Amino acid sequence: MIILITGMYLGILFFIAQWGKNAGRAFLEKHSAIFYAMGICVYATAWTFYGSIGRAATHGLDFLAIYLGPILFLPVWWTVMRKIIRISKAQHLNSLADFITARYGKSWSLALLTTVLVVMAITPYLALQIKAISSSANVLLNDATATPIDIDLASTILLFVFALFYGTRFAFDPKQRNGLIATIAFESSVKVIAAFIGGAIIVYTHFDGPSAIYQESTTAGLSKLLSIQSSSDWMLMLIISGFAFFLLPRQFQMAVVSNKQEKDLRTAVWLVPLFLLLMNWWVVPIALGGNLRLPAGSNPDYYFLDLALNSSPVMAGLVFLGGLAASTSMIIVSSSAVASMISSSMIMPLFIDNRWGRKESITPVISQRIGLLVVFALAFSYHALIVQKESLVSIGMISFIGIAQLAPGFLAALYWRQATSKGVLAGLSVGFLLWLTAFGVPQWLGSRSDELFLFNLFEQWSPLANISFISLGLNALIMSGISLIDSPSRLEKNQAEIFYNILNIEPSVYDNSNITSGKITYERLEKLLFRYLPDELVSETLFKRYTINRIKPKPFDPVPAHLVSYAERLLTQMMGPATARIALHKEFESETIDQFDIQDIIKETRETKQLNTALKEKTDRLAKLTGELTRANEQLHSMGKLKDDFLYTVTHELRSPLTAIRAQIELMRDEEDMPKEIRDQFLDATIGECIRLTALISNVLDIEKFESGNQQLSLSRVDLRNTLGTILDTQLFVAEQEGISIEIDGPEKVWTLADEKRITQVIINLLSNAIKYADRTVKVCFKEDAKNWLIHVIDDGPGVPQDAVPHLFKKFYQSNDQTVKKRIGTGLGLAISENIIKAHKGTIELTSNTPEGNTTFTFTMSKYGN
């Protein structure tokens, strides 16, 4: 019966994997965040499902540390993960060993050491899961005669087959990956449902709820289990679990390699703790319940199952399936991860290095399958041959401490650029050795942890704490010490820089850091890749790259450096960075494949960027300045031109009166018999012209003074009406001649602060213009507003032609409509008036200009002085 259930369940797993690979792809993409988070929950294995209860029943709340550790690390986890994921994706790293190897100069010895460590630490852990399957089956069968070997062998073989199909091409085949992710997510759901709902049902049906259990426990004297027994151990477990959460091979597979997009991390940050909370919710009640209800001497690890059995077969089945899910998910992922490491660092190098003189190589896939075989064989043998007296948790803890030896090197990989491979090798070796002697060997020999021969430095701590502290401490110290005195290769330094700065470096930097000689040709590179990669993969990757970069690969042309980097990355995802590098160097033995110093590249890039921004700034500023200069030049030009024009016009104007004067005087000299009237006429005319000339010269000087700002106004309190009065007589005379009348309108006194002489000039100018152009009337109006007097000079003449309006106040501009009257005035009148009014801080303008109506010039003077 049990076999049937197990078989069916495992069959379901196959189905789900197939679905994930094909039909379910879209679904997986859409909910990638949830699948991702559920994948990470592979952290909870049979240890969690059964072992926690066992631990709680004997050691109280100690068990919590293993889950609180990761939860506490989660805020950090999120930022660190981004870095790890980005690095792994950029360099095509597919396992923890790959990650560490890549950072430390792609050293093969480090890869090997890491793999050995992992195998030694994880094999017991794997065996533990197999044991859980058989033990739980046993509990259900309640019959020791049914040989456990049947169930666990069967399940092991089935799991092996599963891993063969879905756990090998995992690293480089996204479809395969989907299959695996779907399966693990499914299994995580099963175990959490079983744990939470199963637990709830038992606590409420078998007992009267959690409070009842607590009460009963207190009376039974079990209250000590509601506390932490040993705080030092607790702290230790917290920290080590935190590390393990990153470093366990299965965790790296699910959290880093299976990650599709970085933003999925955000979901994981809350979903994973929630999951762990739900898994552990009923642990304490069930542990206590077990202590209370079940016969003494029962294995506390399986209290859950026992209580479920007592409940109903259905419950038992549910719990069993939960445990099965927990174990199998761990086995699948972990074995794939470890197999990949074995393949990369132990199997593939044998063929690449041509040690056996074989020309052919096995494909990485086959190599990984061999690795899987090794892993399963080891795990099963361990399980079968070594009788375990340990509790699940103890075995687990020892594995954790073993894995934790990778922590110093791992952390340094991300945050300490000076860590070198020699340092890590040394530190790791020492830590590993200590672990081995203290736990590893004895464990493999089957002795209990308290029978271990070890040195208790700190008496108040448990042996576990001691060894952990000492091994990790020495590990870190030696790593640091040797790293500091070591001088790493350029490759190492570059990788250190990349790992440290991945979030800030652009991909092009490490794409182009390779220096290759010209002898690496397309033909040879492709041959190399085809040897180790499946054909479709080569087309999908390398050939696509050709297209994207618009490269036409001629077989004997040299390959650019960035393509060589890319090829190396393709090889890395098949066989790890160390072996990939060996393969590459083996193929192109005589060629140099070296590296630029990435720090140099970064510095150069940064300097170039700075130069560029500085250059751009300078160019912008230059453009602006040039614009200003051009404008100033234009202004100068036009001013110069104005001055030229002015000079030209002035001299031109001077010539006219001079011409007339000269002609007249010459005539008077030459014509002896000139009639007296004519002579008198000429003399008058000459005098008139001299006056005109003088007026012109004064005007020009005036204008010049105003323009150059040299004009001084002598201000006094002036009554504008009075001013008007003084010139009115002369103007009236002229006006009468033309038949024009002048009207004045406004208050009696118009007081302002002004230079009387100048204002007189203005009024004369406006008034004489008005008289010149008026039909019949001219009017002068004095109005006011809040601050100023407004003086309007109005005539009823035809007004100013539209095209003349903008030029009205310009120098020498005279109206074209002078057919009727002789040209009088110098053309400077309005210009001078404007200057004078402006100097008084007033305004002057043409305010009304309608041919049918009036033409009005208005100027303002302030009322009470400036």
Partner 1 sequence: MSLEYLMRSKGLEVGIARSGTEALDQMEQNSYDLVLLDITMPDLDGYHVCQTIKNHPVWQHTHVVFLSAKSKQSDIEKGMSLGATDYIVKPFSTKDLSNRILEILEV
Half-sphere exposure of 500 (CA within 13 A, CB side): 16
517 touches partner 1 (CB under 8 A) = no
Report H helices in 438-462.
441-445
Q: Is the CB of 544 or the CB of 655 nearer to partner 1?
A: 655
Rounded to whole angstroms, the Cα distance separating 682 from 822 reads 17
DSSP letter assigned to residue 354: T
Interface with partner 1 (CB under 8 A), residue from 662, 705, 717, 841: 662
CB-nearer residue toward partner 1: 621 or 652:
652
Does residue 645 belong to the site contacting partner 1 (CB under 8 A)? Answer: no
C-alpha span between 731 and 728 (Å, rounded): 5
Among 663, 683, 701, 824, binds partner 1 (CB under 8 A): 663
Q: How many residues bind partner 1 (CB under 8 A)?
A: 25
Burial class (CB in 10 A: 0-12, 13-18, 19+), 27: middle
> How many contiguous H segments (helices) and E segments (strands) does the chain have?
36, 9
To partner 1, the closest distance from the beta carbon of 738 in angstroms equals 18
Name which of 655 and 776 has its Cβ closer to partner 1: 655
Contact with partner 1 (CB under 8 A) among 79, 612, 638, 659: 659
143 vs 670 by CB, closer to partner 1 = 670
- Establish if 655 lies at the interface with partner 1 (CB under 8 A): yes
Pairing status of strand 788-795 against strand 844-849:
unpaired
Amino acid letter, residue 802: Q
Q: Applying CB under 8 A, does 647 fall inside the site for partner 1?
A: no
Contacts of 645 (CB under 8 A, 6+ apart): none
Binds partner 1 by CB under 8 A, chosen from 353, 620, 644, 666: 666
662-682 burial, b for 16+ CB within 10 Å, e for fewer?
Answer: eebeeeeeeeeeeeeeeeeeb
Question: At closest approach, how far in Å is the CB of 669 from partner 1?
Answer: 9
Smaller CB separation from partner 1, 149 or 667: 667
Nearer to partner 1, 382 or 682 (CB): 682
743 is an interface residue for partner 1 by CB under 8 A: no
Least distance between partner 1 and beta carbon 736 (Å):
24
Shortest distance, position 650 Cβ to partner 1, whole Å: 11
Cα separation, 61 vs 49, whole angstroms = 15
**Between 658 and 687, CB nearer to partner 1:** 658
Q: Which one of 75-83, 219-227, 541-549, 667-675 is the stretch in contact with partner 1 (CB under 8 A)?
A: 667-675
Tell me if 670 contacts partner 1 by CB under 8 A: yes
How large is the C-alpha radius of gyration of the chain?
51
Rounded least distance, CB 702 to partner 1, Å: 22
Site for partner 1 (CB under 8 A): which residue of 183, 664, 723, 731?
Answer: 664
Q: Strand 514-516 and strand 855-862: pairing?
A: unpaired
CA dihedral 710, 714, 720, 726 (to 10 degrees): -100
Residue 218 sits in the site that holds partner 1 (CB under 8 A): no
Q: Work out the widest C-alpha separation in the chain, in whole angstroms.
A: 168
The backbone torsions φ and ψ at residue 673, rounded to the nearest 5 degrees and listed phi first, read -100, 45
Residues in 808-827 that interact with partner 1 by CB under 8 A: 816-819, 822-823
> What is d(CA 232, CA 699) in angstroms, rounded to the nearest whole number?
106
By CB under 8 A, is residue 667 in contact with partner 1?
A: yes
> What's the Cα-to-Cα distance from 10 to each of 4, 156, 325, 327, rounded to whole Å?
10, 11, 9, 12
Stretch that binds partner 1, among 56-64, 234-242, 424-432, 649-657 (CB under 8 A): 649-657
Name the minimum Å distance from CB 629 to partner 1. 31
Q: Is 448 in the site for partner 1 (CB under 8 A)?
A: no
Full 3-state SS string of 724-773: HHHHHHHHHHHHHHHCCEEEEECCCCCEEEECHHHHHHHHHHHHHHHHHH
Structure-block tokens of residue 540: 């999908």
Of the pair 659, 850, the CB lying nearest partner 1 is at 659
**C-beta of 451 vs 670, nearer to partner 1:** 670
Give the closest residue to 469 by CA, choosing from 482, 480, 459, 481: 459
- Is 644 a residue that touches partner 1 (CB under 8 A)? no
Closest CA to 407 of 269, 258, 250, 241: 241
Write each residue from 673 to 712 as x if it is in contact with partner 1 (CB under 8 A), else as -, in one continuous string. -x---x--xx--x---------------------------
- Summarize as ranges the residues that interact with partner 1 (CB under 8 A): 652, 655-656, 658-664, 666-667, 670-671, 674, 678, 681-682, 685, 816-819, 822-823
